[in-house]
Structure 1
Amino acid sequence: MKKSYLYIVAIAVVGIFSMRAHSAMLLGAKVGVDTWYSDSTINDIRTNDANNQFSYYVALEHFIPLIPNVKVRHSSMQSMKFNTDFNQMDFIAYYEILDNNLISFDVGLNLQSFNGRFNGQKFNEWQPNIYSEVRLGIPATSISLFGSLSFGSYDKTTTVDGEVGTMFTLGVAAADLNFKTGYRIQDYDFNYFGTNKGKFMNDGFFCGIEFNF
Protein backbone atom coordinates (compact mmCIF):
# COMPACT_ATOMS: atom_id res chain seq x y z
CA MET A 1 0.00 0.00 0.00
CA LYS A 2 2.78 2.44 0.89
CA LYS A 3 4.40 1.90 -2.51
CA SER A 4 1.06 2.54 -4.22
CA TYR A 5 0.68 5.86 -2.39
CA LEU A 6 4.23 6.81 -3.38
CA TYR A 7 3.50 6.04 -7.02
CA ILE A 8 0.33 8.16 -6.90
CA VAL A 9 2.16 11.10 -5.30
CA ALA A 10 5.01 10.84 -7.81
CA ILE A 11 2.60 10.79 -10.76
CA ALA A 12 0.70 13.77 -9.33
CA VAL A 13 3.89 15.82 -8.86
CA VAL A 14 5.08 15.05 -12.38
CA GLY A 15 1.65 15.94 -13.73
CA ILE A 16 1.58 19.30 -11.92
CA PHE A 17 5.01 20.31 -13.20
CA SER A 18 4.13 19.16 -16.71
CA MET A 19 0.95 21.26 -16.66
CA ARG A 20 2.86 24.30 -15.41
CA ALA A 21 5.51 23.93 -18.10
CA HIS A 22 2.86 23.46 -20.80
CA SER A 23 0.89 26.52 -19.65
CA ALA A 24 4.10 28.57 -19.58
CA MET A 25 4.62 27.79 -23.27
CA LEU A 26 1.01 28.68 -24.11
CA LEU A 27 0.46 31.80 -22.01
CA GLY A 28 2.72 34.51 -20.64
CA ALA A 29 2.50 37.85 -18.89
CA LYS A 30 4.75 40.81 -18.11
CA VAL A 31 4.12 43.30 -15.32
CA GLY A 32 6.40 46.25 -14.70
CA VAL A 33 6.85 49.68 -13.18
CA ASP A 34 9.36 52.41 -14.07
CA THR A 35 10.34 55.52 -12.15
CA TRP A 36 11.41 58.30 -14.46
CA TYR A 37 13.40 61.42 -13.58
CA SER A 38 12.39 63.71 -16.44
CA ASP A 39 12.31 67.36 -17.43
CA SER A 40 9.96 68.97 -19.93
CA THR A 41 10.16 71.49 -22.75
CA ILE A 42 6.81 73.13 -23.48
CA ASN A 43 6.37 75.31 -26.56
CA ASP A 44 10.17 75.42 -26.96
CA ILE A 45 10.77 76.65 -23.38
CA ARG A 46 12.64 74.37 -20.96
CA THR A 47 10.70 74.14 -17.70
CA ASN A 48 13.68 73.26 -15.46
CA ASP A 49 11.33 71.58 -12.97
CA ALA A 50 12.51 67.99 -13.28
CA ASN A 51 10.71 65.49 -11.05
CA ASN A 52 10.09 61.79 -10.60
CA GLN A 53 7.26 60.41 -12.69
CA PHE A 54 5.95 56.88 -12.98
CA SER A 55 4.95 54.44 -15.68
CA TYR A 56 3.12 51.13 -15.19
CA TYR A 57 2.42 48.40 -17.71
CA VAL A 58 1.07 44.89 -18.16
CA ALA A 59 1.38 42.65 -21.24
CA LEU A 60 -0.40 39.38 -22.04
CA GLU A 61 0.98 36.93 -24.61
CA HIS A 62 -0.55 33.74 -26.00
CA PHE A 63 0.00 31.00 -28.57
CA ILE A 64 -2.76 31.84 -31.10
CA PRO A 65 -0.96 33.00 -34.30
CA LEU A 66 -3.53 35.35 -35.86
CA ILE A 67 -4.62 37.14 -32.68
CA PRO A 68 -2.22 39.85 -31.46
CA ASN A 69 -0.78 40.05 -27.99
CA VAL A 70 -1.80 43.04 -25.90
CA LYS A 71 0.01 45.54 -23.71
CA VAL A 72 -1.40 48.43 -21.67
CA ARG A 73 0.84 51.15 -20.28
CA HIS A 74 0.04 54.21 -18.15
CA SER A 75 2.39 57.20 -17.92
CA SER A 76 1.91 60.49 -16.10
CA MET A 77 3.44 63.85 -17.07
CA GLN A 78 3.56 66.98 -14.93
CA SER A 79 4.99 70.50 -15.03
CA MET A 80 3.63 72.82 -12.36
CA LYS A 81 5.49 75.78 -13.88
CA PHE A 82 3.43 75.59 -17.10
CA ASN A 83 0.19 74.26 -15.57
CA THR A 84 0.61 70.95 -17.41
CA ASP A 85 -0.61 67.70 -15.90
CA PHE A 86 -1.87 64.87 -18.10
CA ASN A 87 -2.02 61.09 -18.30
CA GLN A 88 -1.08 58.95 -21.26
CA MET A 89 -2.52 55.48 -21.84
CA ASP A 90 -1.01 53.19 -24.47
CA PHE A 91 -3.26 50.41 -25.78
CA ILE A 92 -0.91 48.22 -27.81
CA ALA A 93 -1.72 45.21 -30.02
CA TYR A 94 1.44 43.50 -31.29
CA TYR A 95 2.87 40.34 -32.84
CA GLU A 96 6.08 38.56 -31.86
CA ILE A 97 8.13 38.31 -35.04
CA LEU A 98 11.12 36.76 -33.25
CA ASP A 99 11.42 35.41 -29.72
CA ASN A 100 14.51 33.55 -28.47
CA ASN A 101 17.34 34.01 -25.98
CA LEU A 102 19.40 36.20 -28.33
CA ILE A 103 16.77 38.40 -29.97
CA SER A 104 13.11 39.28 -29.68
CA PHE A 105 11.28 41.63 -32.00
CA ASP A 106 7.68 42.84 -31.69
CA VAL A 107 5.68 45.03 -34.06
CA GLY A 108 2.13 46.32 -33.90
CA LEU A 109 -0.20 49.26 -33.38
CA ASN A 110 -0.54 51.60 -30.41
CA LEU A 111 -3.66 53.65 -29.75
CA GLN A 112 -2.64 56.45 -27.37
CA SER A 113 -5.07 58.27 -25.11
CA PHE A 114 -4.25 61.70 -23.61
CA ASN A 115 -6.30 63.20 -20.80
CA GLY A 116 -5.62 66.22 -18.58
CA ARG A 117 -4.27 69.75 -18.93
CA PHE A 118 -1.69 71.16 -21.30
CA ASN A 119 -0.49 74.70 -20.64
CA GLY A 120 -3.68 75.36 -18.69
CA GLN A 121 -6.09 73.94 -21.30
CA LYS A 122 -8.04 70.73 -20.77
CA PHE A 123 -7.88 68.08 -23.46
CA ASN A 124 -8.97 64.50 -24.05
CA GLU A 125 -7.68 63.03 -27.32
CA TRP A 126 -6.67 59.80 -29.10
CA GLN A 127 -3.69 59.23 -31.38
CA PRO A 128 -2.86 56.16 -33.56
CA ASN A 129 0.77 54.96 -33.62
CA ILE A 130 3.00 52.30 -35.10
CA TYR A 131 4.74 50.34 -32.35
CA SER A 132 7.92 48.25 -32.26
CA GLU A 133 10.15 46.77 -29.57
CA VAL A 134 13.43 44.87 -29.76
CA ARG A 135 15.60 43.08 -27.19
CA LEU A 136 19.12 41.81 -27.85
CA GLY A 137 20.68 39.35 -25.44
CA ILE A 138 24.42 39.46 -24.77
CA PRO A 139 25.68 35.84 -25.07
CA ALA A 140 26.89 34.09 -21.87
CA THR A 141 25.47 36.87 -19.67
CA SER A 142 22.19 37.79 -18.00
CA ILE A 143 22.31 41.24 -19.62
CA SER A 144 20.34 42.40 -22.64
CA LEU A 145 19.80 45.62 -24.55
CA PHE A 146 16.31 46.87 -25.39
CA GLY A 147 14.55 49.62 -27.24
CA SER A 148 10.97 50.55 -28.08
CA LEU A 149 9.34 53.17 -30.30
CA SER A 150 5.84 54.48 -30.87
CA PHE A 151 5.39 56.87 -33.78
CA GLY A 152 2.24 58.44 -35.16
CA SER A 153 1.25 61.32 -37.40
CA TYR A 154 -2.46 61.98 -37.86
CA ASP A 155 -4.60 65.09 -38.38
CA LYS A 156 -1.56 67.39 -37.99
CA THR A 157 -0.63 65.83 -34.64
CA THR A 158 2.70 63.98 -34.42
CA THR A 159 3.84 61.86 -31.48
CA VAL A 160 7.13 60.07 -30.87
CA ASP A 161 7.71 58.04 -27.70
CA GLY A 162 10.91 56.01 -27.49
CA GLU A 163 13.23 54.41 -24.96
CA VAL A 164 16.55 52.56 -24.95
CA GLY A 165 18.33 50.80 -22.13
CA THR A 166 19.86 47.72 -20.56
CA MET A 167 18.24 44.92 -18.57
CA PHE A 168 19.60 42.40 -16.09
CA THR A 169 17.59 39.17 -15.70
CA LEU A 170 17.44 37.13 -12.52
CA GLY A 171 15.64 33.81 -12.72
CA VAL A 172 13.28 33.14 -9.80
CA ALA A 173 10.58 30.55 -9.20
CA ALA A 174 7.97 30.57 -11.99
CA ALA A 175 9.18 33.92 -13.39
CA ASP A 176 12.07 36.06 -14.56
CA LEU A 177 12.84 39.18 -12.54
CA ASN A 178 14.19 41.93 -14.80
CA PHE A 179 15.98 45.07 -13.57
CA LYS A 180 15.95 47.87 -16.13
CA THR A 181 17.67 51.20 -16.62
CA GLY A 182 17.61 53.50 -19.61
CA TYR A 183 16.60 56.75 -21.24
CA ARG A 184 13.14 57.75 -22.49
CA ILE A 185 12.02 60.66 -24.64
CA GLN A 186 8.58 61.90 -25.66
CA ASP A 187 8.41 64.44 -28.49
CA TYR A 188 4.84 65.55 -29.20
CA ASP A 189 3.38 68.21 -31.47
CA PHE A 190 -0.29 68.43 -30.49
CA ASN A 191 -2.79 70.04 -32.86
CA TYR A 192 -5.56 70.22 -30.26
CA PHE A 193 -5.46 73.82 -29.12
CA GLY A 194 -6.43 75.99 -32.09
CA THR A 195 -3.95 78.79 -32.66
CA ASN A 196 -2.11 77.99 -29.41
CA LYS A 197 1.09 76.00 -29.63
CA GLY A 198 1.05 72.41 -28.47
CA LYS A 199 4.71 71.37 -28.50
CA PHE A 200 5.76 69.04 -25.70
CA MET A 201 9.02 67.23 -25.10
CA ASN A 202 9.77 65.17 -22.01
CA ASP A 203 13.03 63.28 -21.51
CA GLY A 204 15.21 61.75 -18.83
CA PHE A 205 16.69 58.61 -17.32
CA PHE A 206 14.56 55.87 -15.77
CA CYS A 207 14.96 52.64 -13.83
CA GLY A 208 12.41 49.91 -13.31
CA ILE A 209 11.55 46.36 -12.41
CA GLU A 210 9.64 43.79 -14.47
CA PHE A 211 8.21 40.34 -13.74
CA ASN A 212 8.08 38.07 -16.78
CA PHE A 213 5.87 35.05 -16.12
Structure 2
Amino acid sequence: MNRKIIATAAVVASLWMPVQADTLLGLYVGAQAWRSDVSGGFGNSSAVTDFDFEQETNSSLYVALEHPVPLLPNIKIRRETLNSSGATTLDTDFTFAGQTYPQGSALAMGGDIDSTDYVLYYEIFDNDLISFDLGLNARDLDGRIDVSVASDSNAMSSQAFSGIIPLLYTRVQVGTPVGGLGFAAQGSFLAIDDSSLYDYQAALTYRWLDNLAVDMTFELGYRALRLELDDVDNLYTDMEFKGPFAGVEVHF
Protein backbone atom coordinates (compact mmCIF):
# COMPACT_ATOMS: atom_id res chain seq x y z
CA MET A 1 0.00 0.00 0.00
CA ASN A 2 2.78 2.46 0.91
CA ARG A 3 4.63 1.82 -2.36
CA LYS A 4 1.44 2.49 -4.30
CA ILE A 5 0.87 5.77 -2.46
CA ILE A 6 4.44 6.94 -3.09
CA ALA A 7 4.18 6.06 -6.79
CA THR A 8 0.91 7.97 -7.12
CA ALA A 9 2.40 11.02 -5.42
CA ALA A 10 5.33 10.97 -7.85
CA VAL A 11 3.03 10.77 -10.88
CA VAL A 12 0.82 13.62 -9.68
CA ALA A 13 3.81 15.76 -8.79
CA SER A 14 5.28 15.24 -12.26
CA LEU A 15 2.13 16.75 -13.77
CA TRP A 16 2.66 20.08 -12.10
CA MET A 17 3.82 22.92 -14.34
CA PRO A 18 5.31 26.27 -13.38
CA VAL A 19 2.59 28.90 -13.27
CA GLN A 20 2.29 32.52 -12.32
CA ALA A 21 1.76 32.97 -8.57
CA ASP A 22 -1.00 35.06 -7.02
CA THR A 23 -0.36 38.78 -7.35
CA LEU A 24 -1.58 39.60 -3.82
CA LEU A 25 -0.77 38.18 -0.41
CA GLY A 26 -3.94 36.75 1.10
CA LEU A 27 -4.92 34.89 4.25
CA TYR A 28 -8.16 32.86 4.14
CA VAL A 29 -9.86 31.41 7.23
CA GLY A 30 -13.03 29.34 6.94
CA ALA A 31 -15.41 27.02 8.77
CA GLN A 32 -18.14 24.63 7.62
CA ALA A 33 -20.94 22.62 9.23
CA TRP A 34 -21.93 19.48 7.31
CA ARG A 35 -25.11 17.42 7.87
CA SER A 36 -24.35 14.05 6.30
CA ASP A 37 -26.06 10.76 5.66
CA VAL A 38 -23.67 7.83 6.11
CA SER A 39 -23.86 4.49 4.29
CA GLY A 40 -21.71 1.41 3.70
CA GLY A 41 -19.62 -0.69 6.02
CA PHE A 42 -16.22 -1.97 7.11
CA GLY A 43 -14.36 -5.08 8.20
CA ASN A 44 -11.03 -6.86 8.39
CA SER A 45 -11.40 -8.31 4.90
CA SER A 46 -12.59 -7.09 1.52
CA ALA A 47 -16.03 -8.58 2.30
CA VAL A 48 -17.18 -5.64 4.45
CA THR A 49 -20.25 -5.77 6.70
CA ASP A 50 -22.81 -3.01 6.13
CA PHE A 51 -24.33 -1.03 9.00
CA ASP A 52 -27.38 1.22 9.26
CA PHE A 53 -25.87 4.57 10.20
CA GLU A 54 -27.39 7.60 11.87
CA GLN A 55 -27.18 11.09 10.39
CA GLU A 56 -24.22 13.09 11.63
CA THR A 57 -23.31 16.77 11.84
CA ASN A 58 -19.57 17.32 11.41
CA SER A 59 -17.58 20.54 11.31
CA SER A 60 -14.32 21.59 9.71
CA LEU A 61 -11.88 24.48 9.92
CA TYR A 62 -9.30 25.58 7.38
CA VAL A 63 -6.70 28.24 6.74
CA ALA A 64 -5.02 29.08 3.43
CA LEU A 65 -2.16 31.39 2.50
CA GLU A 66 -1.73 32.74 -1.02
CA HIS A 67 1.36 34.77 -1.89
CA PRO A 68 3.08 36.52 -4.84
CA VAL A 69 6.27 34.39 -4.93
CA PRO A 70 6.63 32.75 -8.39
CA LEU A 71 6.90 28.94 -8.56
CA LEU A 72 6.33 28.55 -4.81
CA PRO A 73 2.93 26.87 -4.23
CA ASN A 74 0.21 28.27 -2.02
CA ILE A 75 -0.72 26.28 1.07
CA LYS A 76 -3.98 25.24 2.66
CA ILE A 77 -4.54 23.23 5.85
CA ARG A 78 -7.94 21.78 6.70
CA ARG A 79 -8.95 19.88 9.84
CA GLU A 80 -12.10 17.91 10.59
CA THR A 81 -13.43 14.90 12.50
CA LEU A 82 -15.87 12.49 10.85
CA ASN A 83 -18.11 10.79 13.41
CA SER A 84 -20.26 7.75 12.73
CA SER A 85 -22.60 5.53 14.72
CA GLY A 86 -24.83 2.69 13.60
CA ALA A 87 -26.21 -0.78 14.14
CA THR A 88 -26.83 -4.04 12.30
CA THR A 89 -28.12 -7.57 12.83
CA LEU A 90 -25.67 -10.04 11.38
CA ASP A 91 -26.79 -12.46 8.68
CA THR A 92 -23.42 -14.22 8.86
CA ASP A 93 -20.52 -14.45 11.29
CA PHE A 94 -18.43 -11.28 11.58
CA THR A 95 -14.84 -11.12 12.83
CA PHE A 96 -13.49 -7.71 13.76
CA ALA A 97 -10.27 -6.84 15.62
CA GLY A 98 -9.77 -10.44 16.71
CA GLN A 99 -13.31 -11.05 18.02
CA THR A 100 -15.93 -13.12 16.22
CA TYR A 101 -19.61 -12.21 16.50
CA PRO A 102 -21.98 -15.04 15.52
CA GLN A 103 -24.79 -14.84 13.00
CA GLY A 104 -27.88 -13.19 14.45
CA SER A 105 -25.97 -10.88 16.80
CA ALA A 106 -27.29 -7.34 17.12
CA LEU A 107 -24.25 -5.07 16.91
CA ALA A 108 -23.66 -1.39 17.58
CA MET A 109 -20.71 0.62 16.31
CA GLY A 110 -19.14 3.99 16.90
CA GLY A 111 -16.30 5.53 15.01
CA ASP A 112 -14.39 8.73 14.46
CA ILE A 113 -11.82 9.71 11.87
CA ASP A 114 -9.57 12.72 12.40
CA SER A 115 -8.66 14.09 9.00
CA THR A 116 -6.05 16.75 8.24
CA ASP A 117 -5.44 17.98 4.69
CA TYR A 118 -2.11 19.52 3.74
CA VAL A 119 -2.67 21.09 0.31
CA LEU A 120 -0.03 22.64 -1.95
CA TYR A 121 -1.59 24.30 -4.98
CA TYR A 122 -1.10 26.79 -7.80
CA GLU A 123 -3.56 29.32 -9.20
CA ILE A 124 -3.80 28.45 -12.89
CA PHE A 125 -6.30 31.28 -13.52
CA ASP A 126 -7.22 34.08 -11.16
CA ASN A 127 -9.43 36.99 -12.19
CA ASP A 128 -12.79 38.54 -11.30
CA LEU A 129 -14.70 36.09 -13.51
CA ILE A 130 -13.05 32.74 -12.83
CA SER A 131 -10.31 31.21 -10.74
CA PHE A 132 -8.91 27.70 -11.05
CA ASP A 133 -6.54 25.99 -8.61
CA LEU A 134 -4.64 22.73 -9.09
CA GLY A 135 -2.40 20.94 -6.63
CA LEU A 136 -1.66 17.98 -4.41
CA ASN A 137 -3.38 17.14 -1.14
CA ALA A 138 -1.75 14.90 1.48
CA ARG A 139 -4.66 13.69 3.65
CA ASP A 140 -3.60 12.43 7.07
CA LEU A 141 -6.18 10.01 8.48
CA ASP A 142 -6.19 8.83 12.10
CA GLY A 143 -9.26 6.89 13.18
CA ARG A 144 -10.81 4.31 15.46
CA ILE A 145 -13.86 2.05 15.12
CA ASP A 146 -15.52 0.31 18.08
CA VAL A 147 -17.94 -2.61 17.68
CA SER A 148 -20.00 -4.13 20.49
CA VAL A 149 -22.99 -6.38 21.08
CA ALA A 150 -25.96 -4.05 21.48
CA SER A 151 -27.13 -5.77 24.68
CA ASP A 152 -23.64 -6.04 26.21
CA SER A 153 -21.24 -3.13 25.81
CA ASN A 154 -18.50 -5.16 27.51
CA ALA A 155 -18.36 -7.50 24.50
CA MET A 156 -16.46 -4.95 22.43
CA SER A 157 -13.61 -4.90 19.94
CA SER A 158 -11.71 -1.86 18.66
CA GLN A 159 -9.64 -1.16 15.57
CA ALA A 160 -7.35 1.85 15.19
CA PHE A 161 -5.89 2.89 11.84
CA SER A 162 -3.85 5.69 10.33
CA GLY A 163 -2.27 6.63 7.03
CA ILE A 164 -1.36 9.48 4.71
CA ILE A 165 -3.09 9.42 1.33
CA PRO A 166 -1.98 11.65 -1.60
CA LEU A 167 -4.84 13.16 -3.59
CA LEU A 168 -5.19 15.36 -6.65
CA TYR A 169 -6.74 18.68 -5.58
CA THR A 170 -8.77 21.08 -7.72
CA ARG A 171 -10.92 24.13 -7.05
CA VAL A 172 -12.98 26.35 -9.37
CA GLN A 173 -14.69 29.60 -8.47
CA VAL A 174 -16.97 31.51 -10.88
CA GLY A 175 -18.45 34.96 -10.49
CA THR A 176 -21.86 36.11 -11.76
CA PRO A 177 -23.31 39.45 -12.94
CA VAL A 178 -25.51 39.48 -9.81
CA GLY A 179 -23.67 41.44 -7.14
CA GLY A 180 -21.98 39.21 -4.58
CA LEU A 181 -23.30 35.90 -5.92
CA GLY A 182 -21.05 33.16 -7.30
CA PHE A 183 -20.39 29.45 -7.58
CA ALA A 184 -17.55 27.38 -6.16
CA ALA A 185 -16.59 23.73 -6.48
CA GLN A 186 -13.63 21.77 -5.20
CA GLY A 187 -12.54 18.16 -4.95
CA SER A 188 -9.79 15.76 -3.93
CA PHE A 189 -9.47 12.43 -5.76
CA LEU A 190 -7.51 9.16 -5.70
CA ALA A 191 -7.91 5.71 -7.26
CA ILE A 192 -5.33 2.94 -6.81
CA ASP A 193 -6.32 -0.66 -7.54
CA ASP A 194 -9.02 -1.52 -4.98
CA SER A 195 -8.61 1.68 -2.94
CA SER A 196 -10.33 4.91 -3.90
CA LEU A 197 -11.22 8.17 -2.23
CA TYR A 198 -13.15 11.11 -3.54
CA ASP A 199 -14.25 14.21 -1.68
CA TYR A 200 -16.08 16.88 -3.65
CA GLN A 201 -18.35 19.79 -2.88
CA ALA A 202 -20.24 22.44 -4.82
CA ALA A 203 -21.83 25.58 -3.41
CA LEU A 204 -23.54 28.85 -4.14
CA THR A 205 -21.56 31.69 -2.59
CA TYR A 206 -22.50 35.18 -1.48
CA ARG A 207 -19.88 37.83 -0.70
CA TRP A 208 -21.53 39.82 2.04
CA LEU A 209 -18.58 42.03 2.93
CA ASP A 210 -16.00 43.30 0.43
CA ASN A 211 -13.53 46.06 1.24
CA LEU A 212 -9.79 46.73 1.35
CA ALA A 213 -9.41 45.32 4.88
CA VAL A 214 -11.48 42.14 4.85
CA ASP A 215 -13.86 40.08 2.69
CA MET A 216 -16.54 37.75 4.10
CA THR A 217 -18.27 35.10 1.98
CA PHE A 218 -21.11 32.76 2.92
CA GLU A 219 -21.66 29.46 1.12
CA LEU A 220 -24.44 26.88 0.95
CA GLY A 221 -23.91 23.62 -0.92
CA TYR A 222 -23.63 19.87 -1.09
CA ARG A 223 -20.68 17.62 -0.25
CA ALA A 224 -19.97 13.93 -0.85
CA LEU A 225 -17.06 11.86 0.46
CA ARG A 226 -16.39 8.21 -0.32
CA LEU A 227 -13.78 6.31 1.66
CA GLU A 228 -12.89 2.95 0.15
CA LEU A 229 -9.75 1.68 1.86
CA ASP A 230 -8.03 -1.58 1.03
CA ASP A 231 -6.00 -3.04 3.92
CA VAL A 232 -4.96 0.09 5.81
CA ASP A 233 -3.71 -1.30 9.14
CA ASN A 234 -5.81 -4.41 8.36
CA LEU A 235 -8.94 -2.30 7.90
CA TYR A 236 -11.19 -2.35 4.83
CA THR A 237 -13.90 0.27 4.38
CA ASP A 238 -16.53 1.14 1.82
CA MET A 239 -18.28 4.15 3.34
CA GLU A 240 -19.91 7.24 1.93
CA PHE A 241 -20.79 10.52 3.64
CA LYS A 242 -23.02 12.96 1.76
CA GLY A 243 -25.34 15.86 2.47
CA PRO A 244 -25.77 19.65 2.62
CA PHE A 245 -23.33 22.04 4.26
CA ALA A 246 -23.10 25.71 5.17
CA GLY A 247 -19.93 27.71 5.65
CA VAL A 248 -18.28 31.07 6.00
CA GLU A 249 -14.90 32.29 4.75
CA VAL A 250 -13.01 35.42 5.78
CA HIS A 251 -10.25 36.85 3.57
CA PHE A 252 -7.74 39.26 5.10
Q: Distance in 2 between matches of 1:196 and 1:101?
A: 45
Partner of 1:3: none
TM-score (norm 2): 0.70
- 1:164 is aligned to 2:202: yes
**Moved segments of 4+, more than 6 Å:** none
Partner of 1:152: 190
Gaps of 5+ in 1: 1-23
Q: Distance in 1 between matches of 2:232 and 2:178?
A: 52
Q: 1:101 to 1:26 in 2, by over 3 A?
A: closer
Which of 74-83 and 161-170 deviates more? 74-83
* 2:177 match: secondary structure: coil
Quick one: which amino acid aligns to residue 54 of structure 1?
A: S
Partner of 1:14: none
Partner of 1:181: 220
CA contact (8 A) 1:128 1:154 kept: no
Q: How many residues align?
A: 190
Gaps of 5+ in 2: 1-21, 42-48, 87-108, 147-157
Which of 96-105 and 167-176 deviates more? 167-176
Q: Distance in 2 between matches of 1:73 and 1:194?
A: 24
Instruction: Write the deviation string for residues 100-123 of structure 1: whole angstroms up to 9, x where unpaired.
Output: 111000000000010011464200
Within-5 A mapping of 1:61-210: 61-81=66-86, 82-118=109-145, 120-154=158-192, 156-170=194-208, 171-172=210-211, 174-193=213-232, 197-210=236-249
Which of 122-131 and 185-194 deviates more? 185-194
Deviation at residue 27 of structure 1 after TM alignment? 1.1
CA contact (8 A) 1:127 1:154 kept: no
Could you say which structure has the higher strand fraction? 2
Within-5 A mapping of 1:28-39: 28-39=26-37
Deviation at residue 156 of structure 1 after TM alignment? 4.0
Could you say which structure has the higher helix fraction? 1
- 1:53 is aligned to 2:58: yes
Higher relative contact order (CA 8 A, sep 6+): 2
TM-score (norm 1): 0.82
CA contact (8 A) 2:161 2:233 kept: no
Q: 1:174 to 1:153 in 2, by over 3 A?
A: same
Deviation at residue 73 of structure 1 after TM alignment? 0.5
The structure whose Rg is larger is: 1
Q: 1:193 to 1:130 in 2, by over 3 A?
A: closer
